[in-house]
Amino acid sequence: MLIVDAHEPTEGEQRQALLYVRMRAWLARRGEQGASLVEYALLVALIAVVCIVAVSILGGNASTKFSSVGSALQ
């Protein structure tokens, strides 16, 4: 059952409806439904680069710490 509210829309409701209509039109013009495989591949590549850089920067410090802890235990 559909219930219709017969009040005048407020300014906020009008802006929200306009934003919705514009967004739908923009998505229709864009012709895509979501992120493509290329975008996902670029995202994975960027994450891999960040991980490699983090390991290379922090790896030396971690190795030094592990060596000093190992020497202290002996």
pLDDT digits (tens, 9 = 90+) for 4-24: 556 677 787 788 888 888 888
| Assigned token pair, 71 | 């020497």
Q: In which element (H, E) is residue 33 found?
A: none
Model's pTM, two decimal places?
0.41
Mean pLDDT of the chain: 79
Q: Kindly tell me if the per-residue pLDDT of 57 is higher than 60.
A: yes
Q: Which of helix, strand or coil describes residue 69?
A: helix
pLDDT digits (tens, 9 = 90+) for 22-54: 888 877 776 655 667 778 889 999 999 998 888
For residue 18, which phi and psi values (nearest 5 degrees)? -65, -40
